[in-house]
Structure 1
Amino acid sequence: MLLTLVVVALGVLAYQGVRTALALRSAAASAQDLRTQVSDGELQQARSTARSLADDASVARRHSDGWLWSAATLTPVVGDDLAAVRDLAQGLDALAGRTPDALALLDAVKGGLRTPDGAIDLGVVEGLRQPVGRLAAAVDTARADVADVRPDDLVPPLAGPAEEFVDQLDSVASMMGSADSALRLLPTMAGGDGRRDYLLVVQNNAEIRATGGLPGSTSVLTVRDGEVSLGNQGNAGAFGFSVDPVAPLSPAEKQLYGTTLATDLRDTNLTPDFPRTASLMSRIADRVLARPVDGVISIDPVTLAQVLRAIGPVEVAGQQLTADNAVDKLLHQPYQTLPDNDAQDAYFRQVSRGMLDAVLSASGDQVALVQVLSEAVRQRRLLVWSATPAEQEVLARYPVAGALPRDTGTHPAVGFYLNDATAAKIQYFLRYDLDLASLGCTDRGQQVVEATMRLRSRVPRPVSQLTDFVTGYGDYAPRGDDRMNLRMYAPTGGKLTALTRDGKAADIQQVVHDGRQVSVLPVLLAPGQEMVVKATFTTRPGQDGTPRLSWTPGIEWAPTSVVARSRCG
């Protein structure tokens, strides 16, 4: 009799396992289809796919959520894997059940977040708060369901999908948290309670800085009851040079970035920490502008090009800007064709006003526009800082703040940040990509991670075809060469243990900044040269979680961070 019961139980468990596996496999395919359909704006097809996803997730949860399955999770060898399948199914079900709500939100966004005259429709924004809040809560529930899942401990066929799901869930959680906070802050920050003035800074990626590029074109955006207007326009140099620092600098900041960090608006983003940058920018701006700014917004031309992909081409400054030519026309051609700084500044003022008018009046794909801006936040290209402490406290929790990425619990953070030392627009021709790998843990539980950066100069020959604005005058580097400083941030309490440049050991300067070791590596690229930098870091004890590497956004529209699977344990 007992043997019969065991056989029946095993048969039922096998059936449940097959149904769960088939449902999860089907759900994975539906999720991929759903991402593609939403990205392509095919919301009608997406609704059907969302229903299939929800059905599959429900089947997977039901068949892995009973006493028999729970008992099987206690068995040796396969118990952890079965527990992970159950938790993943529960998390997926919690999330998939809210997918129709998410699509309804996209419909609302597609209907427009602006009034007919181009103002931000604060009524629509207010109406989105509750449904977004419910979605954010569902994501939090799903994350709680999978909190105990450790992909590295699972069998290989399960480890990959589990890791991908957990990573995607973390990404969605960050996005939903940002959206939830944005909808709570936007009515006030958009002037719902009175006038707001923001310093809008366009970072010039052709002259690279840690947060993206040299602060170039500047404008004052005035917002009242959602209505946006463009005020004082100029360039970062017009704010002048303060004799005294506008804020105290730490000894480490002075050593790493110099005192101009707090005296010249153009140097405020030598640090990769945008909240620090923006607070310094606002103090410098307040000395010149008629009234203090309420915050700082930063964007770059690479993002503006993608905005044009969503809203369509615009006519500005006597030419058509498109998604395909905007980067060239904003970051290179002005320095090749316009004779002096005054002509360049006049051009950028026209572009700024034309782009703002186009965005506010555009009838393009609003869903695509929101997707572009969301991706710009993830790439640290669209950044926001508020001078109101309560608002900044909320912003600081999310990527839109642009804060220097820091360790989270057992998960170490590494950062690679570039600053130009050529005093020219030569980084228009710079390309780079980065990788991260975990090499395992020491006996003391210190994780060893290796970051690799590949840099390439695409400066054309002969260099004489480029103007002095692009190459510089040869004061800091031979014309056509690209001189930069690479600052590498180790995890908090960790350290750099090895560094090579093209396979050879490199000499560096090291400074401890806010508990993190920072290593400074001079970089010089000749036209056409490629360089590989490899840095090995050892974390403090106990940091055996997933490591993350972040870096400066460049000319290419691409991710600016990567995670690696921990090889500890």
Structure 2
Amino acid sequence: MREVNGDNDAQDEFVGPDEGEGRPKMLRHLRRRHVIFAGLFVLILVVGFGCWLALRAFEAKSNLEAARNSAQQAKDALLDGDTDGAAKHADDAHSHAQHARDATHSVPWNIASAVPWIGDPFTTGQEISDVVVGLATDVLQPAATVGAVLSPDHLLQGNRVDVQVLRDREPELSTLAAAATKLNENAQAISDPKYVSLLSDARSQLQDQTANVADLLDNTALAARIVPSMMGADGTRTYFMAFQTNAEARGTGGLLGGFGLLRFDNGTATVDTLASNRDLDGASASVDLGREFTEMYGFTNPTTDFRNSNLSSHFPYAAQIWKSMWAERTGMNVDGVIALDPVALSYVLGAVGSVRMPDGEVITKDNVVELTESTAYSRFPNDQVARKNYLQDIASEVVRKITGRVESPQELLDALGKAVGERRIAVWSSVPAEQELLEETPLAHVVPDDPAPYAGVVINNLGGNKLDYYLRRQIEYVADGCSAETRNSTVTIRLSNEAPKTGLPEYVAAAPGIRPDIPLDVPRGAMVTSVRLVATTGATLTSALVDGQQVPVFSGTERGHPSFEVQLGIPPGQSGVLSFRLSEPTSAGAARVPVQPLIDTVEPKVSVPQCSG
């Protein structure tokens, strides 16, 4: 008989063998159930968090896209002078941007962005939404308000620009421009989203958009600073207005074919003293443009022969020569110089309408270039005086139309903008402070004196004829990467002579040359052309090839840039390919390839990596 030694032992007497083994199993089963429930709970949390985050991501994506689209529409409306539309689209952009910002700064988004590496795209999304909110709130909405006052229809009444309201609004415009510039800096600093290409595209699009808006407002503020004074807000201003003939190429565009005096009195423009270039025969300019200029161009007598006064593409040189020539001839000191060409006039006629000559001939946007650059030479093949009088009459009627009442200020502004974009209008001021501001704009046509990549291709007609009406150009600038202090680059120029082989007047197709004492002996209709490359500061020439064959080069310096010139002849119906192979410094900044304004419109191909400083 067993002895009972306590409660435990007594209890043990009543526990069967099956029950003793069941307790651990039950405990393990309960633990497994707890683990499963915990796992399911975590899974539900993860799925829920993911759904929450996905919902926020969808809200952010759709609202950011809508905000960017509305912002672009607001900018376009501002450019079109549609201030009501600009205000509406700016409000829409603000609303969508705020919703996007709320989504990208929500709890799940903040948690996700805190995870190393994985959270990079979420951080990028937050930065993008912040910039879009700033674009709408700090830039586009106030810009729409200012734009209501500065719309073309408000600024231009009849034939007078309200220069005072432009001056009054300058502080607001400068403040807006500063805000846009700061916002653009923030946009350029948006972090890389790493593995999410969709956000990379969104970042790039936003960076382009803010850069465009910043440029627009900066240029508008700049115009408000400079236009009132230049248009006579503080007293009458007088400008030498040059008409360039692209049919005979010169560095600034074309030969000085005619000119007039443009006056501004408190925003109202008038033009008089229209004359042909023969009125400058024998005039001389008393200007010193420096040793480099004299070494490059002095042998062509640019200060005493107006035909060679603008061989350089640096417009201030030609402007100062023309101003001095006019002062020597008349005793009048103009306040500046403006140059334009027949293509620019065609754009303007498209905005203001055609003109009718006294004999009934109608000058339109479609025929003014051909009439002035080609037909006039066939119509008056042997009578230069009659031809120049005819061209002067056309210029007089067109100018009278332009300076009269403007029915559609916005169309005129668009036409002028197109001409400026193609470098067909150039402006120089004799007031140093104004000229300094002008050189921040595309109107100045200066050869820059900085080290950024540069390829200025300059064509000058050496034949003294009008064959460049038939010249067609292609330009390409390519360079290696940024890994070394110097890199190889190539500038390739293809020139085609599309002149007919027969039927052209002698004045158009012969080649007397630009200096009587240096006659030329070339086939009729052949172009005799100087092609000069103004290259990146510090660049050296490796070789120059014409159709694959090495050719001699004339070297010089233009405003600190090395200059390489090749002279070649191109028979009618033929083409030539000129390549400059260079070694140039790997300089910071975007590559610039200014296009000389001739008859054709050129879109250069540029494959030059942008290097950092």
Q: Do structure 1's residue 333 and structure 2's residue 371 form an aligned pair? A: no
Q: Which residue identity lines up with residue 242 of structure 2 in the other structure?
A: V
**Structure 2 stretches lacking a partner, 5+ long:** 1-37, 513-518
* Aligned twin of 2:590: 546
> Displacement of 1:256 after TM fit?
4.9
Q: CA deviation at 1:327?
A: 1.1
Structure 1 401/65 Cα, relative in aligned 2: closer, same or farther at 3 Å? farther
CA distance 1:480–1:13, change in 2 (3 Å): farther
Q: Are residue 280 (structure 1) and residue 318 (structure 2) matched?
A: no
- Aligned mates of 2:114, 2:324 — CA distance in 1: 59
2:486 maps to which residue? 446
Counterparts of residues 122-271 of structure 1 (less than 5 Å):
122-126=163-167, 128-148=169-189, 162-163=203-204, 165-167=206-208, 169-241=210-282, 246-251=287-292, 253-256=294-297, 258-271=299-312
Question: How far 1:226 sits from its partner (Å)?
Answer: 2.4
Q: In the TM superposition, what whole-angstrom CA distance separates every residue of 1:379-416 from its partner, at most 9, and x where no partner exists?
A: 221111111112112212221111114546xx422211
What amino acid is aligned across from residue 187 of structure 2 in structure 1?
A: V
Q: CA deviation at 1:259?
A: 4.9
d(CA) in 1 for partners of 2:301, 2:482: 40
Aligned counterpart in structure 2 of residue 293 of structure 1, from 331, 334, 339: 334
**d(CA) in 2 for partners of 1:472, 1:231:** 34
For residue 576 of structure 2, the aligned residue among 527, 531, 542 is: 531
* Larger gyration radius, structure 1 or structure 2: 2
Do residues 494 (structure 1) and 532 (structure 2) align?
Answer: no
Distance 1:20 1:36, change over 3 A: same
SS at match of 1:511: strand
Whether the 8 Å contact between 2:292 and 2:559 is mirrored in structure 1 is: no
- 1:457 equivalent to 2:497? Answer yes
How far the C-alpha of 1:507 sits from its partner, in A, is 3.1
- The size of the alignment, in residue pairs, is 560
Give 1:518's aligned residue. Answer: 563
Measure, in 1, the Cα distance between the counterparts of 2:388 and 2:465: 16
Per the TM alignment, residue 19 of structure 1 is displaced from its structure 2 partner at its CA by 3.9
How far apart in 1 are the matches of 2:57 and 2:184?
Answer: 23
Contact 2:455 2:536 in 1 (8 A): yes
1:322 and 2:367 are equivalent in the alignment: no
Q: 2:432 aligns with which of 389, 393, 396?
A: 389
Q: Give CA-to-partner distance per residue, 1:249-276, whole Å, 9 cap, x none.
A: 4145423563523333332221111122
Give the aligned residue type for 1:277: A
Q: Point out the more displaced range, 297-306 or 451-460.
A: 451-460
Q: CA 1:139–1:273 in 2, change beyond 3 Å: closer, same or farther? A: same
- Find the counterpart in structure 1 of residue 400 from structure 2: 357
Q: For residues 143-187 of structure 1, give each alpha carbon's deviation from its aligned partner in whole angstroms, at most 9, with x where no partner exists.
A: 221243699999866666655654554454444333322222222
1:18-37 counterparts in 2 under 5 A?
18-27=58-67, 29-30=69-70
Check conservation: 1:302, 1:556, Cα contact below 8 A.
no
State TM-score, norm by structure 1: 0.85
Which amino acid counterpart does residue 472 of structure 1 have in structure 2? A
TM-superposed CA distance for 1:200, in Å, is 0.3
Matches of 1:365 and 1:557 in 2, distance apart?
A: 26
Q: State the Cα distance separating 1:135 from its structure 2 match.
A: 3.8
Residue type at the aligned position of 2:437: V
Within 1, Cα distance between the matches of 2:535 and 2:85?
46
Give the fraction of aligned pairs with identical amino acids, expressed as a percent. 26
SS in structure 2 of the partner of residue 332 of structure 1: helix
Paired with 2:254 and 2:194, the residues of 1 have a C-alpha distance of: 42
Partner of 1:401: 444
CA–CA distance in 1 between the matches of 2:410 and 2:76?
14
Deviation at 1:22?
3.4
Q: Distance in 2 between matches of 1:161 and 1:524?
A: 50
Q: Distance in 2 between matches of 1:200 and 1:38?
A: 30
Q: Give the corresponding residue for 2:553.
A: 508
1:348 alignment partner, SS class: helix
